[in-house]
Structure 1
């Protein structure tokens, strides 16, 4: 019985994705630019991007995967904290006693103010978007009775958050990491999700 046309199209598309993935892997493995993806949309990179060494561009591409992981993780934690705190305290939860003034609010406010004072478009109107992993962990542990139904261990939340914060440093500051640290990052992310009941 002949294949249906939609099955052939799907197979063709999957073959294309496999070829693209393999070409990217070869470029990364051998630190070369094969030029196969010149027509590929690359976002809004500066025109001068191509002037950087191919090795540096390849390394940046490899590291972007880890930035994506942190972007998703950090923002998902912020949403979780916001949702739980909103449910407990309402819209003004950030100003409540549940968010430590000296250790968190007094640290976060100036970060936003610095962006405004320097004419940079503020990243957000929500001050939680200016928090670090450590500060998010602090909000969770300070309000453990609210977060206990979500996480299975208060000390594990602190430990995994500390590890993630250490692993985040090289990525956030544009330094390459070796395979061991990449494995540690993947393990720390898995550990974070295992903490959730």
Structure 2
């Protein structure tokens, strides 16, 4: 009953309960406090870029998963290119052995390297050719994004011009895929 009534107040612009955004910001400020201002600012810029790449990469995985399930059936994983499938299975086995490390371990596509995602699309081109403009278009963007992604994953700072390239390529992908 409280939830139903409080929604009226929220819609009127009245805050009900604790502001989780403010609490999150305070936790982040506290965690970053020991470091210099320049390093903190760089970290926040890179965190935003990491978040965009995280969403992009996982969106591609979903795109592949849905297209392959629709065209090849529920056993589509068995029809992945053999080397890619073996590599992903090996990485998943390692993750399962690291039982202390919690997280998603059942999705084989989650263990496929970023660069291999484009290889899957190319190998299954008949399924994707009506959506992706050309294999060249795909490879060019994915190769460049993979380099940027790896740079970020190893905590190296990119220049603002590289930020723009990443945003442009992701916007291109989203437009083509229909996001």
Taking structure 2 as the reference length, the TM-score comes to 0.78
Counting only pairs closer than 5 Å after superposition, residues 1-197 of structure 1 correspond to structure 2 as: 39-42=22-25, 49-96=32-79, 99-102=80-83, 104-118=84-98, 119-196=100-177
Distance change (3 Å), C-alpha of 1:44 and 1:167? same
Q: CA RMSD in A?
A: 2.9
Q: Secondary structure at the match of 1:110?
A: helix
For structure 2, list consecutive stretches of 5 or more residues without a partner in the other structure: 1-8, 16-21
- Cα deviation 1:43-99 (Å, max 9, x = unaligned): 976x76432333322211111110111011101110010001001122211112xx1
Q: Is the 8 A contact 2:95 2:105 kept in 1?
A: no
| Relative contact order, higher structure (CA 8 A, sep 6+) | 2
Distance change (3 Å), C-alpha of 1:40 and 1:54? farther
Q: By how many angstroms is 1:116 displaced?
A: 2.0
Q: For this pair of structures, how many residues does the alignment match?
A: 162
Q: Is the 8 A contact 1:157 1:195 kept in 2?
A: no
Q: Secondary structure at the match of 2:24?
A: coil
Taking structure 1 as the reference length, the TM-score comes to 0.71
Task: State how far apart, in whole Å, the 2-side matches of 1:124 and 1:117 are.
Answer: 11
Distance change (3 Å), C-alpha of 1:76 and 1:48? closer
My pick for the range that moved more, 63-72 or 178-187, is: 178-187
